[in-house]
C-alpha cells in the first residue's frame, strides 16, 4: 500500500472504525484533508458541522482561522480584524523581549486599548494553511525526487502573495504532501495577563492537574492595503480573515463533543519497544540530570535580581518545560504498561511476517535489526546527550557556533566576498536578541557548573581538546575543577561573544585570525570536534535506523487492517476530536473535568514566585464579581478533554460542535507524558483554559472592553 488513503484501505479501516469501535474517537492526529472520512463518527458524538465547514479549499472554513504561531505554537483568529488568541507561554519569548525594567509587560501585563497602542513584535510571524495535497505518487515516480519537490514548491509559491510551500514526509518517508501557506510577518502584541496569572503555578503545576493557569495572550495580524502579507509598516491595516471563530459563552459539561485543530510538533508513536526503552531508561534520565544543573544555576541568579529574571525568563521557561517533560515520561513509563503493549504488538507483527515467505524474506529480521542499533555504541550515545545539554548548554557556546560558518567563509571564500557578506549579515541580524538574552555572569556560572558535571561523568577522552591544551593547563588551580573556574573567568573576560562592544569592533573588520584567537571561539571549535566525533560514530547507524524504520512502517501498514492509521506529528496542521472528560489517576484518585476560581485562592501564596495572585484578581474572586462569565456563582478556569495533542498544539482552539471557541489548549496532564510515544486513553488528557475565564480577565480585570466588543460572542 503506497498511499495511506487508498479506497480499499478506507473501506476496511473505516468499517472497523465506525462499526466495531476499534479506534477510539479521541486518539489520532488526523490530516485535515481526510476529515470527510471522520464526519459521520463526529456527528454521532454531537458535531453539527460538515467536513467542508472544517476544511475546505473552495470556501471559507475553520482551517482559515487556525495559524501556526511563530512556527512553534498554534493560534486562532477570533475577530474580523485579525485578532489572535494563543497561550501566554507561546507569547512569552516576545513578551519578555519587549519588556524592560521600566515597562515590565511580562511581570505586570499589558493591554492595548486601541490599535495605536499595540506593540510590534519583530521576527514573529504566523502561517495560515492555504491547501495541502498528496504528492506521494509524483515524488516516487520522479527520476530526481528532490528536483520534483523543488519544482512543486516553486510553482505553488507563485500562486499567491506571501505564499510559502514545502513538501513534507509522513510515515517515515513513505508518503509525501505538498503544503502551501500564506505567511504574515507584521504581528503586534495586543494583550497579556501578568506572569503570575499567565504562568500561575509555575514549574510546580506544569504538566499537572488540577490547574488554574490563565495561559493566554493576544496578538494581531496586520496586512497591507490589499490584505496581503507585508513587512511591518505603520500604514498596514488589521488583517481581514476569510473566517474567524465565534466565541461561546455557553460553557461545557461532561461528555460534550469538541475538537482541536493545530500544529503538533513531533510524536514517535511507531517506535519499537527497544527504541522506547532506550529513550525512557537511558536518554531521558541522563539528559534531565544535565539540564537540572543548568536550571538550578540560572534560578539561583534569577531569584535574586528582577532584571536578570526578565532577561533569562524565556530561556529558563523553555528548558524547564523540556526538563519536566522528560521526568514525566520516566514517571509515566513506570506507572503504565505501554511498553508491554508495544512488545505484544511486535510479537503479533512478527508472527504475521513469519507466516508468509515473501514477508519473511523482506521483513523477517526488521525488529531484531532495530534492536541491535539501540546498543551498538553506548559511549557515543552518552557523549551525544552530554553534547546536546552539557557542552552546548552555556549560551556563549551557541553564540560562537553561529559564527562557525562565517569563519569558514572568510577562509574558503576570499574570492567570493558576497558569500562572506551573506554570513556577516546573518550573524549581525541575530545580535540584538543574542545579547539581550545573554548575561555573562550567569552564563559563566553555568559554564563552570556544567563543566564540573561533565568532568565527573565523562572520561577524559570525551572532554574538549581545549581542556588538555596549554591554555587550560596553565590556569591556576590544584585540580581540573579549579582550573576550569579560572579558564572560564578568562574566557568570559576576553571573548567577543561575552561583550557587545568587542563584538561590534570585530564586525567592523572581521578576520579568521581574530576568531581563532578568541577563547570562546577556540572552546566552541573543540566542542565541534566532539560533535564530529559523535556524528562519525552515530551517522551511519542513524541512517541505517532510518531505512529500517521506513520498512518497519510499511510492514505495520500492511499488517494493520482493523483500524485507520494516522502519521506521526511533524508540525503540520492536524485535527483531533473527542469529548470533555475527567479521569482517574494511577492511584485511583478521581479528577473532575474542570476547575474554578476558588482553587486560585486555595493555592494562593502572597509573594511566592509561582502562586502569588494579583490583588485585583483576588478581590474579584472573593466578591464573585464574574459578570456574565460566571457559572452559578462560580467561575470556571480550566478543563479537561480527551484530545490527542503534543507540543506545538499549545495555543490551539478547543472548538465545540457548532464551530465556536470554548477554550485554548495549553498542556497535558502528568499521566499523559508518554503520549508522544503511545496514546493512553484512560488517563491522557488535554488541559485547556476555559474561554470564559479568558473573557472575564480581559473584561473585568483588564478593562479591555474594546477587545470584548470586537469578538463574535455566542450565548
Active-site residue list: 89, 215, 650
Q: Where are the beta strands (DSSP E) in 23-125?
A: 66-69, 73-77, 83-86, 110-111, 119-120
d(CA 577, CA 344): 27
Residues 478, 421: contact at Cβ < 8 Å? Answer: no
Residues 214, 637: contact at Cβ < 8 Å? Answer: yes
Q: HEC string of 293-304?
A: HHHHHHHHHHCC
Residues 462, 498: contact at Cβ < 8 Å? Answer: no
**CA pseudo-torsion sign 59, 62, 63, 68:** positive
**Secondary structure (3-state) at 666:** strand
Residues 25, 204: contact at Cβ < 8 Å? Answer: no
For 216, residues 6+ apart whose C-beta sits below 8 A from its C-beta are 85, 86, 87, 88, 193, 198, 664, 689, 694, 697
In terms of Cα–Cα distance, which of 534, 570, 546, 711 is closest to 649? 570
Residues 638, 595: contact at Cβ < 8 Å? Answer: yes
How many CA atoms within 13 Å lie on the side-chain side of 176? Answer: 20
For 73, residues 6+ apart whose C-beta sits below 8 A from its C-beta are 86, 87, 90, 263, 648, 650, 651
**Secondary structure (3-state) at 30:** strand
Residues 546, 172: contact at Cβ < 8 Å? Answer: yes
The three three-digit cell numbers of residue 86, written as one number = 494563543
158 exposure class (CB count in 10 Å sphere: 0-12, 13-18, 19+): exposed
Residues 74, 66: contact at Cβ < 8 Å? Answer: yes
* Displacement of CA 512 from its chain's centroid (Å): 36
The phi, psi pair for 489, rounded to 5°, reads -60, -40
d(CA 687, CA 699): 23
With cell 564530529, the residue in question is 532
**Secondary structure (3-state) at 194:** coil
d(CA 71, CA 87): 14
| Per-residue b or e along 469-500, where b marks 16 or more CB atoms closer than 10 Å to that residue's CB | eeebeebeeeebeebbbebbeebbeebbbbbe
d(CA 527, CA 141): 42
Amino acid at each position: 500500500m503506497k498511499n495511506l488513503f487508498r479506497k480499499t484501505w478506507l473501506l476496511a479501516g473505516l468499517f472497523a472504525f465506525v462499526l466495531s469501535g476499534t479506534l477510539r474517537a479521541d486518539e489520532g492526529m488526523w490530516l485535515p484533508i481526510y476529515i470527510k472520512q471522520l464526519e459521520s463518527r463526529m456527528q454521532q458524538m454531537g458535531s453539527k458541522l460538515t467536513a467542508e465547514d472544517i476544511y475546505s479549499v473552495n470556501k471559507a472554513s475553520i482551517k482559515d482561522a487556525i495559524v501556526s504561531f511563530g512556527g512553534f505554537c498554534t493560534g486562532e483568529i477570533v475577530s474580523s480584524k485579525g485578532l489572535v488568541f494563543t497561550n501566554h507561554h507561546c507569547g512569552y519569548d516576545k513578551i519578555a523581549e519587549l519588556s524592560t525594567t521600566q515597562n515590565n509587560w511580562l511581570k505586570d501585563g499589558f493591554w492595548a486599548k486601541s490599535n495605536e497602542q499595540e506593540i510590534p513584535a519583530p521576527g514573529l510571524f504566523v502561517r495560515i494553511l492555504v491547501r495541502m495535497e498528496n504528492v506521494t505518487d509524483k515524488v516516487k515516480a520522479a527520476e530526481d525526487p528532490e528536483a520534483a519537490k523543488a519544482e512543486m514548491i516553486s510553482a505553488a509559491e507563485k500562486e499567491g502573495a506571501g505564499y510559502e510551500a514545502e513538501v513534507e514526509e509522513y510515515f517515515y518517508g513513505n508518503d509525501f504532501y505538498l503544503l502551501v501557506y500564506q505567511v504574515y510577518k507584521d504581528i503586534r502584541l495586543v494583550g497579556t495577563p501578568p506572569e503570575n496569572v499567565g504562568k500561575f503555578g509555575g514549574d510546580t503545576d506544569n504538566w499537572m492537574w488540577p490547574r488554574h493557569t490563565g495561559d493566554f495572550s493576544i496578538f494581531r495580524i496586520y496586512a497591507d492595503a490589499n490584505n496581503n502579507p507585508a513587512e511591518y509598516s505603520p500604514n498596514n491595516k488589521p488583517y481581514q480573515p476569510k473566517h474567524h471563530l465565534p466565541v461561546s459563552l455557553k460553557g461545557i459539561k461532561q461528555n460534550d463533543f469538541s475538537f482541536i485543530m493545530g500544529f503538533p510538533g513531533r510524536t514517535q508513536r511507531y517506535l519499537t519497544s527497544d527504541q522506547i526503552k532506550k529513550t525512557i531508561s537511558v536518554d531521558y534520565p541522563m539528559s534531565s540530570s544535565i539540564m537540572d544543573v543548568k536550571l538550578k544555576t540560572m534560578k539561583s541568579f534569577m531569584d535574586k535580581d528582577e532584571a536578570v529574571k526578565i532577561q533569562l525568563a524565556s530561556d529558563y521557561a523553555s528548558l524547564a518545560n523540556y526538563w519536566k517533560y522528560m521526568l514525566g515520561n520516566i514517571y509515566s513509563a513506570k506507572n503504565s504498561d505501554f511498553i508491554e503493549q508495544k512488545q505484544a504488538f511486535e510479537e503479533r507483527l512478527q508472527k504475521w511476517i513469519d507466516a508468509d515467505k515473501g514477508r519473511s524474506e523482506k521483513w523477517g529480521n526488521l525488529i531484531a535489526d532495530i534492536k541491535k542499533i539501540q546498543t551498538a555504541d553506548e559511549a557515543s550515545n552518552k557523549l551525544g546527550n552530554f553534547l546536546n545539554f552539557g557542552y552546548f548548554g552555556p549560551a556563549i557556546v551557541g553564540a560562537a557556533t553561529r559564527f562557525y560558518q562565517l569563519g569558514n567563509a572568510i577562509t574558503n571564500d576570499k574570492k567570493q566576498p558576497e558569500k562572506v557578506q551573506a554570513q556577516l549579515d546573518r550573524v549581525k541580524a541575530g545580535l540584538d536578541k543574542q545579547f539581550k538574552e545573554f548575561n555573562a555572569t550567569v552564563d559563566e556560572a553555568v559554564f563552570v557548573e556544567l563543566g564540573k558535571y561533565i568532568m565527573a561523568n565523562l572520561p577524559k577522552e570525551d572532554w574538549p581538546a581545549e581542556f588538555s591544551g596549554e591554555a587550560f593547563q596553565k590556569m591556576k588551580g590544584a585540580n581540573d575543577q579549579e582550573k576550569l573556574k579560572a579558564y572560564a573567568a578568562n574566557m568570559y573576560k576576553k571573548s567577543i561573544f561575552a561583550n557587545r562592544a568587542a563584538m561590534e569592533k570585530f564586525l567592523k573588520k572581521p578576520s579568521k585570525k581574530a576568531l581563532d584567537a578568541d577563547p570562546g571561539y577556540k572552546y566552541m571549535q573543540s566542542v565541534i570536534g566532539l560533535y564530529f566525533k559523535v556524528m562519525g560514530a552515530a551517522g551511519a547507524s542513524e541512517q541505517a535506523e532510518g531505512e529500517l524504520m521506513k520498512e518497519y512502517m510499511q510492514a505495520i501498514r500492511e499488517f494493520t487492517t482493523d483500524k485507520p492509521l494516522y502519521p506521526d506529528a511533524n508540525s503540520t496542521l492536524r485535527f483531533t476530536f473527542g469529548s470533555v472528560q475527567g479521569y482517574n489517576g494511577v492511584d485511583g484518585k478521581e479528577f473532575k473535568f474542570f476547575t474554578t476560581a476558588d482553587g486560585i485562592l486555595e493555592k494562593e501564596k502572597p509573594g511566592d514566585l509561582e502562586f502569588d495572585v494579583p490583588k485585583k484578581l483576588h478581590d474579584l474572586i472573593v466578591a464573585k464579581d464574574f459578570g456574565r462569565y460566571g457559572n452559578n456563582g462560580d467561575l470556571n478556569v480550566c478543563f479537561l478533554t480527551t484530545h490527542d495533542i503534543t507540543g506545538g498544539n499549545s495555543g490551539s482552539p478547543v472548538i465545540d460542535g457548532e464551530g465556536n471557541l470554548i477554550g485554548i489548549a495549553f498542556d497535558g496532564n502528568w499521566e499523559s507524558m508518554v503520549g508522544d510515544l503511545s496514546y493512553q486513553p484512560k488517563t491522557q488528557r488535554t488541559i485547556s483554559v476555559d474561554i470564559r475565564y479568558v473573557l472575564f480577565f480581559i473584561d473585568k480585570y483588564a478593562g479591555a472592553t474594546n477587545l470584548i466588543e470586537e469578538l463574535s460572542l455566542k450565548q
